[in-house]
Structure 1
C-alpha cells in the first residue's frame, strides 16, 4: 500500500514527539497513574498528528501492528518467565540460592557482600523490585545494626538489584530490550557483559573499601530467622540448583531462549514434585498465580510470594502500548526526521553511543518509566545502527546501559519512588553510592570512543580489544 502522508518538518516532528511525551510525563509524574494509560492517550494524540500529516487510519494501524509483531517473542518469553519464577520458588531453587547467599554476610565486608547477595538474588529472580523489597529490606536492617549510613547501604542494594534486572535471562527488561532491538536474548546478554562485568568488579572493590572504613563488629539477628524459615519450609538440596545449571549449560550451547525457558519450567515442576512433595494443584497454581509463601516470617513471605502468568500481564500491556506508540512515530516518519538531526551530530561511533544513552536519560527525565526509556530509543536507533553497519547487540546493550539502570537515579521516577517507599531513602541520598548505575554507562562511552567491544554487522570487531579472547 502506497503511503499517503507527508514527511514532517523538524519543528513538527519535535511537536509530534514532545506533545505525547508531555502527556506521558503529566500522567506519570503529576497524576501518578502509571505509564499504561498515558501511553495509550499519547498514542491517540500521535495518531491525530498522523492524520494531520495525511496518513490514513489503515496506515497508522499498520504501523502499530508491525511494531507490536516485532515483540511477540518477548511477550511469549514474559509469559514463560512468569511461570518460571513461580515454579522455581515452589521447587526450592530460588530459596536455595537466597539461603546460601545470605550466609555470605560478614561485618567487615558487609557492603560488598550486600551488593553480591543482591546480584545473586536479582539474577536468579530477574527482578530489581522483588530483590529490593525482600532481601534488600533484610540487608538494610543488618546494615543499620552494623552502624552503616543508610544511603550507603541502599546504594549497594540498588546496584546489586539492577545488575540482575539488566543481566538476568528471566528479567523483563532484558527480554524486552533484546526483542525491541531485534537481537537474540543470549547474544544480548553476552554483549552487556563487556560493560556490566567490569563495572561490577569496580563497584565491588569500592564497596569493599567503604566497608573496611565503616564496618563495626556487630552480630546480625535477622539473618538466622530467615535462614531457619527457609530451611524448615523447603528441602534445600543441591538438586534444587539443577534448573539454573541447565540454563547455563544450554545457553552456552546456544539453545533458543523460549524452548530453554520452557525446559527449565518443566524441570522445576518435576523437582517441586520429587523434592518438595508438591501435588499437581500446587504446581499449576504456582505457574498461573505464582507462589504464595506462608512461613509466618514477614521478610520471607514477601520475598517468595511472586511469579506466575498473572504477574506479567501488566508488563505485557505496557510493552504493547509502548511499541504501539513507537510504531506511530515510525509510520509518520517522526523518528526519521529527529534521527536525521541526531545523526548529523553523531558523526562518530562514540557520539552515536552517547546519543543512545542521552535519548534514554531524556525519556527517563520526561516519563520516569524504565520500559519506555528502553523501548523508544531501541526502536528509534535500529535503522541508524543498521545504516552505520554496527551490530544491533551494541544498540541493545547501550539501551540497557542507559535506560534500565539509569531509572532509579531519577528522583521522580517510578523506581525511585518504590525505593523510597520500601527502603526509606530518596534517590538524592543513595544515588552517589549506587556505583554500578553510574559506572556502566562510563564503560559504554569508553568503548564507543575507543572502538573496543564494538562489532560490525557481520560480527567482526571494529577495533581489536586487549581481551581478544572474550567474544560476545
Structure 2
C-alpha cells in the first residue's frame, strides 16, 4: 500500500506504543511460560510488537513497503550472528561425539579446585577473550567445557554461566582485536588504541570487582571427583589429542578468520577426530543399515552430530546429560527469536521512535555525570529495542556526539562510555542476539544467569560512577571536540569491526 504524504515524526506517545507493548507482552510471556517463553511465546510477542510498530509507522506516513524493507534490512544485518549460531550448534555436536567436551571436563576436574571454580572460570575466559578479542568464540568453546565441569562438580549452572560471560566480555570490551572495540572507536572518531587504553582502565576495575564477587560466592567443602573421572575413563578414550579441535579454533581466531569459518572448521575438526579416535562410537551413533560401507556410515554419524547433535547412551546419567546436546537444529528457537527481534528493531528505527525517545534525554543532560548516565541508558534501551549490539554502539554514539562536543568533553569519553555500556548489556537481554546466543550455548536462561554476569552489570554502573566523580573526564575546547564528533555520518568503521 502506497502513501502519498511524506512521513511525519512520531510523537512521544506513538514512540512508546510498540516499546510498551513489547515490554508488556514479554512480561506476560514470562509470567505465563517462565523460561519456556524463549521456545515460542517471546517470538510471538515480538511479532505482535512489530505489527504495532508497523501501524505507528504507517499512521505517520511510511509506506508498508518501506517498513517491510527496514525489517528485511535489519534481519539481514543479523545473518552473521545466525550463521555463527548454526556453527556453534554443529561444534557442540561433534565435540560431544569425539570426546573433546569430555576431555575438557576430565582434565578440568583434575586441575581445577571447586572452591575457587567460579573465580578461575572468569579468569580463564578473561585472558583468552582478551587474546582473541571475541566473547562468542570463548563462550562457544571454553565456556561449554567449563559448564560441563561445573555440572560434574555439582556447582550452580547460573553462577558458572555468569562467570564465563563476565570473563568473555572483558576481552570483547577491551581487546584491540574486538569488533565492538573497533566499532566504538570508529563511531566516536577516536584512535583504536587510545580507546583500548581508556576502556582497559575501567575494565580492569570491573574485572577485579567481578573476581571478588565470585570469590565470595565460592562453595567451600570437600568434593570427590573420582566417580566422575572413572566414568569418563571407562566410556571414552581420554587423550590430549582430543584438544586438537579447540587448538584449531584458537589458532584460526588469532589469524583473524571470520568467526563462522573458524567455529565451523572447529566443528568439522571435531568430526575428523571422532572418526579416528572413537570410530566404534561414531558407527554406533550412525546406526546405519546393514551393508552400508564403514566410511559412509561414519560420514552419516558425523553428519548427524553436525545437524541434530549427539545423543549419549553410556548409561551414566551424569555423562549422558552432559553430552546429549548440540546440532544445528538446537539453535532454531534462538534464531527465530533473533529474527523477530531484529525485525522489530528495524521497524522501530525506521519510524524514528528511538531518536524520539532519546532526544529529550540528550537535551536534559547538562553535567558530565548526567550526560554519561543518559548515554548509558540510551545504549541499554537501544539494546532492548533493536536486539542488536552494533546498533546499540553506533546509534547512541551518533546521537550524543554533538552533546559531548558542545559541553567540551573529549571524544574518548564518548567512546569509553559507549564501550562500557553497549558492549556488555546486550548479554543481559533475552531477545538480544547476544543474550539469546549465551543462553542457548550455555544452556542457562538469560534471566537466570543475568544477576551473576557481574562484569556486564558493573561496567555500565562504573562508567556512570566515574563520570559523576569527575574521574577520567578530559576536556577540550568545544570547537576541537566538535571536529571529530559533531555533524555528518559516523566515522568509517575499522575493517572487521562488524564481525561477531
Normalising by the residue count of structure 2, what TM-score does the alignment of the two structures yield? 0.66
What secondary structure is seen at the aligned counterpart in 2 of 1:35? Answer: helix
Q: Deviation per CA, 1:224-282: give whole Å up to 9, x if none.
A: 22222222222222122122222222222222222222322222221111122232222
Match of 1:40 among 15, 40, 47: 47
Distance 1:114 1:70, change over 3 A: closer
Does the aligned pair in 1 maintain the 2:312–2:323 contact within 8 Å?
A: yes
Which stretch of structure 1 is more off in the superposition, 11-20 or 128-137?
128-137
The alpha-carbon deviation at position 25 of structure 1 amounts to: 2.6
Match of 1:64 among 59, 71, 83: 71
Which residue does 1:259 correspond to in 2?
261
Correspondences of 1:197-208 after superposition (within 5 Å): 199-208=206-215
Which stretch of structure 1 is more off in the superposition, 132-141 or 265-274?
132-141
Match of 2:166 among 163, 166, 170: 163
Correspondences of 1:233-272 after superposition (within 5 Å): 233-272=235-274
Correspondences of 1:281-360 after superposition (within 5 Å): 281-345=300-364, 354-355=373-374, 357-358=376-377
Distance in 1 between residues matched to 2:65 and 2:264, nearest whole Å: 37
The alpha-carbon deviation at position 83 of structure 1 amounts to: 0.9
What secondary structure is seen at the aligned counterpart in 2 of 1:126? Answer: helix
Correspondences of 1:19-418 after superposition (within 5 Å): 19-30=21-32, 32=34, 33=37, 34-106=41-113, 109=116, 112=119, 126=140, 135-140=149-154, 156-163=159-166, 166=169, 199-208=206-215, 215-216=220-221, 218=222, 220-221=223-224, 223-277=225-279, 278=282, 279-345=298-364, 354-355=373-374, 357-358=376-377, 372=384, 375=387, 378-379=390-391, 382-386=394-398, 388=401, 395=418, 398-405=421-428
What secondary structure is seen at the aligned counterpart in 2 of 1:231? Answer: helix
The alpha-carbon deviation at position 438 of structure 1 amounts to: 4.1
Does the aligned pair in 1 maintain the 2:151–2:322 contact within 8 Å?
A: no
Distance in 1 between residues matched to 2:341 and 2:179, nearest whole Å: 11
Does the aligned pair in 2 maintain the 1:382–1:392 contact within 8 Å?
A: no
Distance in 2 between residues matched to 1:244 and 1:63, nearest whole Å: 39
The aligned length equals 413
What secondary structure is seen at the aligned counterpart in 2 of 1:103? Answer: helix
Distance 1:58 1:264, change over 3 A: same
Distance in 1 between residues matched to 2:419 and 2:151, nearest whole Å: 31
The alpha-carbon deviation at position 93 of structure 1 amounts to: 1.9
Distance 1:160 1:205, change over 3 A: same
Q: Deviation per CA, 1:340-372: give whole Å up to 9, x if none.
A: 223334678876664464357669xxxxxxx85
The alpha-carbon deviation at position 130 of structure 1 amounts to: 6.9
The alpha-carbon deviation at position 43 of structure 1 amounts to: 0.7
Distance in 1 between residues matched to 2:359 and 2:64, nearest whole Å: 26
The alpha-carbon deviation at position 309 of structure 1 amounts to: 0.7
The alpha-carbon deviation at position 134 of structure 1 amounts to: 5.2
Distance in 2 between residues matched to 1:353 and 1:301, nearest whole Å: 49
Does the aligned pair in 1 maintain the 2:379–2:396 contact within 8 Å?
A: no
The alpha-carbon deviation at position 299 of structure 1 amounts to: 2.3
Structure 1 residue 450 corresponds to structure 2 residue 464: no
Distance in 2 between residues matched to 1:380 and 1:437, nearest whole Å: 15
Distance in 2 between residues matched to 1:362 and 1:397, nearest whole Å: 14
The alpha-carbon deviation at position 22 of structure 1 amounts to: 2.3
Does the aligned pair in 1 maintain the 2:121–2:146 contact within 8 Å?
A: no
The alpha-carbon deviation at position 86 of structure 1 amounts to: 1.0
Distance in 2 between residues matched to 1:306 and 1:180, nearest whole Å: 34
Which residue does 1:439 correspond to in 2?
458
In structure 2, list runs of 5 or more residues that go unmatched.
Answer: 129-135, 173-177, 187-191, 283-297, 402-410, 475-483, 486-490, 495-500
Does the aligned pair in 2 maintain the 1:64–1:325 contact within 8 Å?
A: yes
Q: Deviation per CA, 1:385-414: give whole Å up to 9, x if none.
A: 24637798975763342241477xxxxx99
Match of 2:9 among 7, 24, 39: 7
In structure 1, list runs of 5 or more residues that go unmatched.
Answer: 142-152, 170-174, 364-370, 408-412, 461-472
